[in-house]
Chains A and B, each alone.
Chain A
């Protein structure tokens, strides 16, 4: 992940007058707020990161942390439908030199499905039940290419073959409900990749699948990424998936980024109590089964009434350590811990080091 600080701009602060970044995808201080009858839902509240082509970023967090909202914001999906009137989106999303938040919806639409594509969690509900799989892929292709149905169909068969579906010429006329779970997800991937997108966003693509199929799908995504050189954002709550496939990790909590860095580093030297909690609650084969899992106590925060100060403080066992009650009053900013590794936490670095080494790591 390229460091923003190289350009001189501090992380988390909006750059002045939108200078296009050098990174392929760059998100700057993205805020996505939804006014509702109950109050203002701050689903994403100041998120920044960047991503290069050919690399995979995993966005991790609990339900309600804002990870899906982020990925859909990049796709421009929040402007559509009934939420379109209400959503308040600020910040910048730069994709290959184009700024998307201020762009006209019709412009963004042209990019959707072409430059950037998305695959979803449940392929059964994500595909239209009434249309053949082949027809849906053809549709995805013909939106962005003026070709005949015959040509598009050939392309669809080609893609089905590419994602590893046997007898693609036959299966192209099948309906979604006639496919098995794994095959369906492959078909969805085929549909997303039919236009060779440069950015692929996968929103929990394996959650609805069983473990063996999971591995196959992840392999497929990795292969396709190598082949097409696309950037991949993998949204997940499963750290196992992160370990498999991610180059970089972004941990989200309460609509904010709490830790960010190369995957290996974040796993070995996690710098945030929430990340510790995630790691501790992950079942591992090599752990002593007599030891209990360490779940993160409490519930995810309300996005309407986000806790003041550090959003994690109600659930953090170490909230009282920093002096002056800052955890409850001051929102922590992302600070660099080591190269490319950032964390937003009021605990002094030494305390974090100590707690990790002495208390957490031994138990994992």
Chain B
């Protein structure tokens, strides 16, 4: 996923009240002071990245989530933010989900609404799921497979009404282009490629082999929605819960309050614990205030995108406070795309010159230091399967190699290049990173001018419009990307596949259209064996780096503060390093 209206979060970066900023401590990335992982308040720094902190089964209390912005929607079928993917599981159970756990454990898919993982057949073109028995909504009515089918239909095929979520199902369901969605097509049959032979079984017929289908159904779009209660856009005001909590009140743009769902049956749910009595979600809270509340132990930053710069400085200088932080990978790459359709970057030597020229440490510093990211050299970040360490354009200390860069420039037939580099105007760190890159490039004779664009329109109007970039000589484009699901395909498809290039809202910013890469991607998604599939992703990564179409800058990291009054805190790779919201409870005060 790119960083546009990033699913990760838009809020903290675009915060209105971003006071000054500046002096960030470039403190060394910390090793944990204390390797114990579930030891109450003495858990050390990064404890939640290694295990569950404050593990407890204590029931009662109120958990408060605070958000500085508003989410795209609470409606599980109409959201694309990772934190909503995370949070909505409390009231909307998808077919599969990620297991709460640290590290690799957190990347593992486990069945949620389904009784077991999907069974592929027909070479991966058909997937069958059996639902658990005894599933009920908050009003006691039974959950059936028809409700899951309906959920997929409304979220993917009624794009004029519900258009905020991804539309993978629309892309992959057989005959998906013919179906008009449940609001226009009132027939009882609905989408023919999803079958529900009985109330407990659901079968998906795809238009191509897709071995990672379990990842697709881990989205909240498969959480059941009763058709009789669906009000389209207004459904969000009265969501019918299938999870452990239900809505007590919902004030759009202000707050939502959830309370225990009495009709949730622990016997049907090995994952959830239903610990707190009440969950309050407050919206549009001043981001500085959120940090204060988190440090006081009273709230969780719902966006999970990291503390504000001023808080970061405060927290890293205080050993006690630092022990209460988690610095985790976010499944996300900060990079600069090289536009292959803008001369002279159509020649691979010129691209390699750029690769060698850049002092990545200066970029890392501009982005906030090692706390905010490790220097990157591959397309896949370390927490995505398929990652293999490699550094094709290595230089001493990752500071860039001007000599080699100039060599490549000569091989390209140029002594100097003039081009433009684009970045988002409301992201000061991105601007600073771009400036650092401009300085690196200048040393070898590549003169780049900075062009800034607002992030809200970055993809729709500027960097994501190929014609615009070509006309305006934008050869270098600043970008951030996180996977829609933590697999190689989820990460690479949208940014590297030639088929993903679109005339507006483009995410394949390099406009990379390599036959080998395209077919490898297609092959990978059709490969059933996990190991083999992951090795294909590694190959794609290598090929991309050899073609030098993008310059990996840093592997994004977040610095989260752990609220000490809350239990069961574990940072999960599947949700970009956020804490897993499924089982957070309240410790005794």
A and B touch in the complex (CB under 8 A): no
